[in-house]
Amino acid sequence: MLSIFQRHPRYALFSGVALLVTFLLLASQHAPPPAIVIDTFSPSEELQRRLEYSESAYRKMLRAREDLIQKFGPARDKVLMFPPDNEPWPPYTVWDFVPAAFNCPHPVERIGALGDGGKWVCGLQRVAPKPDCVVYSVGINHESSFEAELLSRTSNCEVWGYDFSVESFGPEVQDDPALLSRAHFAPYGLAGTNSDGEHKMFTLQTLMALNGHEHIDILKIDIESWEFETLASLVKPYLESGEPLPFGQLQLEIHTWGKKFDEFLSWWEMLEAAGLRPFWTEPNLVYINYNRGSDADLAEYSFLNILGDNVFISEREFYRPRGDAHPHPPPLARHD
């Protein structure tokens, strides 16, 4: 007598396939899970990937800036710093054209007091163990909470402070012998040229030469609108030579008193061309509160220098420029 498999071959085939599928399913329950492949990067590669992404996002913002100029200009000299409150109401101020659109690749935190005096810093942990950490602070004005916290949270950083309007650091540093041992003060001003008038004024290059410094890790400047002349004089020779600016990070209060939009934006684009990227900003609300009805003329900005080989953009143990002193995207050109 023929078996059921011989009488019904299609049934036999179906049964075989069913048994095979059942076997495979049972086997898969005991098999190890498939390996997950994750891209791994060295610290240097990961840092560069973050910087490249941030630069790409920043250049996207530059295109949006040009669109905004076209909308409210269209010529640059037709754009107002702070449009009057009338009809039709232009919904912008000068600060909308220069947002802090660069993402710092390290933690950003407030160093110093809330309110007036403190500054936003990117990657303080990068300089905390640095054996030759150098900080310049120009503009003290009796308040040194920024310098005090920076000194207290680092082991080797030293601060050089300059301000011709006061005689010393503020009490936060001056009254603490442990901090004062790493703080150096002189009643000098920062300017675009050296001068020896009523107040001694020096360029940043001259101050660095006097101190024997070739590089500054963190540079804080608050010089009551003289930043325009001072930084223009500082940046110009570096743009002409192609060398990176001699500092890694800049905390700057900008005072736009009497400035026209085209003048301001040309100065700002010079900073961008030199490799400075704003990663944090806030309006000076204390100034607005004390001067009710005035424009928002003052704003705090923090910049990262993305050119060269400073501690904030380079893993020095792993990264070295490959035949190029400027490993990042080329400086920005003005868009006319």
Residue bearing the bigger pLDDT, 126 or 327: 126
The predicted structure's pLDDT at residue 90: 84
Predicted confidence at residue 24, as pLDDT, reads 52
Rounded CA separation 93/149 (Å): 33
Phi, psi of 146 (to 5 degrees): -60, -50
- Per-residue tokens: 51: 């910087």
Position 324 scores a pLDDT of 41
Long-range contacts of 95-98 (CB under 8 A, 24+ apart): 95/281, 95/283, 95/296, 95/299, 96/68, 97/65, 97/68, 97/69, 97/261, 97/265, 98/65, 98/265, 98/268, 98/278
DSSP 37: P
Spatial distance between the Cα atoms of 308 and 313, rounded to a whole number of angstroms: 8
Q: How would residue 289 be classed by pLDDT, with cut points 50, 70 and 90? A: confident
Name the strand (E) or helix (H) holding 263.
Answer: helix 261-273
Structure tokens at 321: 């420029």
Whether the pLDDT of residue 53 is over 60: the answer is: yes
As given in the structure block, the two tokens for residue 20 are 């095979």
Residues 6+ apart with CB under 8 A from 222: 138, 139, 141, 252, 253
- Coil, strand or helix: which one is 97? helix
- Collapsing DSSP to helix, strand or coil, 303 comes out as strand
Written as one letter, the residue type at 162 is Y
Residue 223 CB neighbour total at 10 angstroms: 20
Residue with tokens 């310098």: 147
Asked whether the beta carbons of 13 and 20 are under 8 A apart, the reply is no
* 331 dihedral zone (left: phi>0; alpha: psi -120 to 50; beta): beta
Mean pLDDT of 142-159: 96
Q: What is the pLDDT of residue 115?
A: 86
Highest averaged pLDDT of the listed ranges 37-46, 85-94, 167-176: 167-176
Q: Which residues contact 43 (CB under 8 A, 6 or more apart)?
A: 315, 318
Q: Tell me what pLDDT residue 42 has.
A: 84
Q: What is the pLDDT of residue 293?
A: 73
Mean pLDDT of the chain: 87
Please report, for the chain, the start and end positions of each structural domain, with discontinuous segments joined by +.
43-305
Confidence of residue 330 (pLDDT cuts 50, 70, 90): very low
For residues 280 and 249, is the Cβ–Cβ distance under 8 A? no
Q: What confidence category does residue 71 fall into, taking pLDDT thresholds of 50, 70 and 90?
A: very high
Q: Is the full-model pTM beyond 0.95?
A: no
Q: Which residue has the higher pLDDT, 73 or 12?
A: 73
Asked whether the predicted pLDDT for residue 182 surpasses 80, the reply is: yes
Q: Give the H or E element holding residue 134.
A: strand 134-138
Percentage of the chain with pLDDT > 90?
A: 72
Q: Does domain 43-305 have CATH number 1.10.3470?
A: no
Confidence band of 178 (pLDDT split at 50, 70, 90): very high
Provide CB contacts within 8 A for 219, sequence distance 6+.
Answer: 135, 136, 138, 204, 247, 249, 250, 251
Task: Identify the band that residue 43 occupies on the pLDDT scale cut at 50, 70 and 90.
Answer: confident
**Predicted confidence band at 335 (pLDDT cuts at 50, 70, 90)?**
very low
Which range is least confidently modeled, 1-5, 12-16, 80-84, 225-229?
1-5
Which tokens belong to 125?
A: 């942990």
Q: CA angle, corner 23, sides to 18 and 25, nearest 5?
A: 95
What are the residues whose beta carbons fall under 8 Å from the beta carbon of 289, sequence distance 6 or more?
A: none
For every residue of 181-218, DSSP letters joined together read TTEEEE--EE-SS-EESSSEEE-HHHHHHHHT-S-EEE
- Assigned token pair, 239: 């743009």
Q: How confident is the model at residue 266 (pLDDT cuts 50, 70, 90)?
A: very high
- Give the pLDDT confidence score for residue 244 in this predicted structure: 97
